[in-house]
Amino acid sequence: MSNDVVRVEELRKVYDLGEVQVEALCGVTLSIRRGEFVAVMGASGSGKSTFMNILGCLDRPTSGRYLLEAKDVSTMARDELASIRNTRIGFVFQGFNLLHRMSAVQNVELPMLYGDVPKTERRKRAVESLTAVGLGERQGHHPNQLSGGQQQRVAIARALVNRPAILLADEPTGNLDSRTSVEILELFQRLHRDGATIVMVTHEPDIAEYCSRQIHFRDGELVDDRLNPHVRDAAADLAAMPPAHRRA
Amino acid sequence: MTLADVLGTALWSLSRSRTRTGLTMLGIIIGVAAVVSVVSLGQGAIANTEADISAMGINLVTVSPGAKMSGGFRTTGVTTLVPDDALAIRSECPAVANVSEGVKTTAQAIYQQKNASTTVEGGSDEYPLVRGWRLASGGFFGPEQVRQAAKVCVIGELIREKLFGSDEPIGRILRVNRVPLEVIGVFAPKGQTSSGQDQDDVVVVPWTTGLRRIIGAKHLNSVLLSARSAEQVPKAVEQVTSLLERRHRIPPGGENDFSCQTQREVAEAQEAATLLMMTLVSVVALIALFVGGVGVMNIMLVSVLERTREIGIRMAIGARSRAVMWQFLGETVVLTSLGGLIGAALGIGVAHLIPVAIGWPTRVTAAPVVVSFLFSAAVGLFFGLYPAYQASKMDPIEALRYE
């Protein structure tokens, strides 16, 4: 048994638009091992979004295999995929995607609602998860009462609450200012050090520098895959940054 | 997701948009309130009819001349019932307790400058017993006065009020068709029958007086009698029928020239009419409830579209199609059930208000409340299915991209 969390082989995705067929992924093969922090890069239309959707079990490949923790999920039914998303995958989005009418702790409880976790256990774990991202005392706040960075932390707490095998982040710093971005990256690096496997889409090379491995997509193909010899330390960068305006 | 989770999520979600929730429920509320209050009105009318029979004597049997016809209509001007028939019933029918010859006409009753058009009824001295009427003041005429065709009368409360106002009526003389009649008693007020006839608008005279002095005829309009008990009513009818068949020489199998109607039959005809009316109005109200359900579906479809992104998020973090389906179905059912509950409360409130406001009797029973509540929940289930299905079939990727 390998140490691969993700193993994709000859992954292809074709969109049938009636008269034309668009090949979004044309045979991608790659492995992601436990504990890696991978940056997925590429221009829009490069296939990285399609790749992430398949990785996140939101979509199924047209052909090829996708093994998540050695389990073939490429042929699973809709409900099985939902169950995989619920327990094995944590999503972090650019737009945070919190439910605005719910408080922070309710948002974090949500995945457990669909995972049949008992009610008291839900609250306990949600609070733990919020505390882990540094928002323990803001659990009753609603998203509109939180700053962008704090909202993204809530989203990360929600992604982690079911202890997934992999954390998928789609431009998680895209809506954040540079200092807050580094704060979020610092959190990711901390989670990474604690053993989390993270795959993060970004189109900014300096954000990718905080990752241990960088892969590039172009025209649906994996064109570059290399380890980052000089991983930047977000904590050090933060310390070097001027305290600037303190954000609530 | 447990049922408690589904309900909790639904309540939470509905409470977040109260105005919309309230407006959406309105159709259901009005429908259920209409059903509950209409049925209460109908039940009240039926209960009133029942009260009427007991007030008029549940043992009362009316013998009328002419053959019985459907719907309570009967030919008039038939002269087959004569005073001797009543005498014979009195002596030969053991199940009969009291008998009153019945004479009836409409006439002007005049006292000094005042006059009133009223019903003049003739009866025997047993008339109050047969009808179960009580006197408020004075007395009733006795057998002697009946034999003499005495010029006396007992008046209803409405006539007393119209002709005498605050004056003492006992001992005064009023005239009916130029016949002077001494008022010897006043009936206690009885109010309207459920068919709308005012029982206080009446002048009762000895039947002999009525026939000879006022109308000038020899036949009776009816014979009123009471059975010895409610159980004896069928027996009394049987005895009277066979007696009159003999007296009138009706051949076996021939059509009778008289008919017996029990108070129970009158009431049943009336109740059947009330029930029909109630059913028709309830059907209209249920249709309104159904239309309310269509409104709910409409709003839920809008709601599903509006919350596309929420659905996408929920699916991304692991909600199965079924969980999304339950969420929206739960919301619709909770919405309509809540509407049903409020509507039922409103209907009960209206049912209690109607007697005070317009004087119609109502009676709240559990059945329409329970049925219309269950119906509204079923409406939610039915009309929630399609929007919930739409929500559950969404593609998470598309839904997440929805702005």
Taking all residues of chain B, what is their mean pLDDT, rounded to a whole number? 86
**Does B322 sit within 8 Å of A79, measured CB to CB?**
yes
Hey, is the C-beta of B282 within 8 angstroms of any chain A C-beta?
no
Hey, is the C-beta of B396 within 8 angstroms of any chain A C-beta?
yes
**Does A79 sit within 8 Å of B320, measured CB to CB?**
yes
CB B28 within 8 A of CB B340: yes
Note the pLDDT tens digit of each residue in B87-122. Answer: 999 889 999 989 999 999 999 999 988 888 999 999
With beta carbons under 8 A apart, name residues in chain B contacting A83. Answer: 318, 320
**Does A114 sit within 8 Å of B314, measured CB to CB?**
yes
CB A207 within 8 A of CB A181: yes
**Does B321 sit within 8 Å of A78, measured CB to CB?**
yes
> What pLDDT shows up at residue B57?
64
Listed range (A57-61, B259-263, B290-294) with the worst mean pLDDT: B259-263
CA distances to A65, B18, B91, B382 from B21, rounded to whole Å, are 47, 5, 73, 18
Note the pLDDT tens digit of each residue in B129-147. Answer: 888 888 999 999 999 999 9
Cα gap B9→A248, rounded to integer Å: 30
**Does B315 sit within 8 Å of A56, measured CB to CB?**
no
End-to-end alpha-carbon separation of chain B, Å? 28
> What pLDDT shows up at residue B180?
94
Residues 146-165 of chain A whose Cβ lies under 8 A from any Cβ of chain B: 158, 162
- Give the whole-number percent of chain B exceeding pLDDT 70: 93
CB B191 within 8 A of CB B199: yes
> What pLDDT shows up at residue A245?
57
Average pLDDT per 10 consecutive residues for chain A, totaling 248 residues: 83 88 90 93 88 91 91 89 93 90 91 88 92 89 91 93 92 90 93 93 91 93 91 90 62
Hey, is the C-beta of B310 within 8 angstroms of any chain A C-beta?
yes
- ipTM computed for the complex: 0.91
- Is pTM beyond 0.90 here? no
Cα gap A225→B324, rounded to integer Å: 39
CB A199 within 8 A of CB A169: yes
Hey, is the C-beta of B397 within 8 angstroms of any chain A C-beta?
yes
CA dihedral B76, B77, B78, B82 (to 10 degrees): 120
CA distances to B11, B18, B63, B301, B381 from B329, rounded to whole Å, are 12, 18, 62, 11, 7
> What pLDDT shows up at residue B120?
93
> What pLDDT shows up at residue B192?
64
> What pLDDT shows up at residue B234?
87
Cα gap B278→B286, rounded to integer Å: 12
For the cut 60, the answer to whether the pLDDT of residue B68 exceeds it is no
**Does A93 sit within 8 Å of B318, measured CB to CB?**
no
Note the pLDDT tens digit of each residue in B206-222. Answer: 999 999 999 888 889 99
* Residue B313 parent element (H or E): helix B308-316
Q: CB within 8 A of B78, min separation 6: which ones?
A: B65, B66, B257
For the cut 60, the answer to whether the pLDDT of residue B197 exceeds it is yes
Q: In this structure, how many other beta carbons lie within 10 angstroms of the beta carbon of residue B377?
A: 20
**Does A158 sit within 8 Å of B318, measured CB to CB?**
no
Bridge partners (DSSP) of residue B103 are B122
> Best residue in B3, B9, B317 to probe A by mutation, most A CBs within 10 Å?
B317
> What pLDDT shows up at residue B386?
93
Listed range (A135-144, B251-260, B298-307) with the worst mean pLDDT: B251-260
With beta carbons under 8 A apart, name residues in chain A contacting B18. Answer: none
For the cut 70, the answer to whether the pLDDT of residue B338 exceeds it is yes
Burial of B210 (0-12, 13-18, 19+ CB in 10 A): buried
**Does B397 sit within 8 Å of A53, measured CB to CB?**
yes
With vertex at residue B12, the alpha carbon angle to CA A152 and CA B289, rounded to the nearest 5 degrees, is 140
Return the number of CB contacts < 8 Å for A and B: 60
**Does A114 sit within 8 Å of B1, measured CB to CB?**
yes
With beta carbons under 8 A apart, name residues in chain A contacting B16. Answer: 101
**Does B316 sit within 8 Å of A58, measured CB to CB?**
yes
Determine the average pLDDT of the residues in B240-249: 89
**Does B1 sit within 8 Å of A113, measured CB to CB?**
yes
> Best residue in A51, A98, A113 to probe B by mutation, most B CBs within 10 Å?
A113
Determine the average pLDDT of the residues in B165-175: 91
With beta carbons under 8 A apart, name residues in chain A contacting B318. Answer: 82-83, 85-87, 111, 114-115, 162
For the cut 50, the answer to whether the pLDDT of residue B60 exceeds it is yes
CB B124 within 8 A of CB B100: yes
| Nearest CB to A82 within list B312, B318, B400 | B318
**Does A97 sit within 8 Å of B400, measured CB to CB?**
yes
Cα gap A3→A33, rounded to integer Å: 6
Residues 12-31 of chain B whose Cβ lies under 8 A from any Cβ of chain A: 13, 16
Residues 63-122 of chain A whose Cβ lies under 8 A from any Cβ of chain B: 78-79, 82-83, 85-87, 91, 93, 97-99, 101, 110-111, 113-116, 119
* Gyration radius of chain B over CA positions: 32
Hey, is the C-beta of B316 within 8 angstroms of any chain A C-beta?
yes
For the cut 70, the answer to whether the pLDDT of residue B78 exceeds it is no
Which pLDDT band holds residue B196 (cuts at 50, 70, 90)?
Answer: low
3-class DSSP assignment, residue A243? coil
Pick the residue from chain B with its C-alpha nearest to A90. Answer: B317
Query: Does B15 or B160 have the greater pLDDT score?
Result: B160
Query: Does B154 or A19 have the greater pLDDT score?
Result: B154
For the cut 70, the answer to whether the pLDDT of residue B399 exceeds it is yes
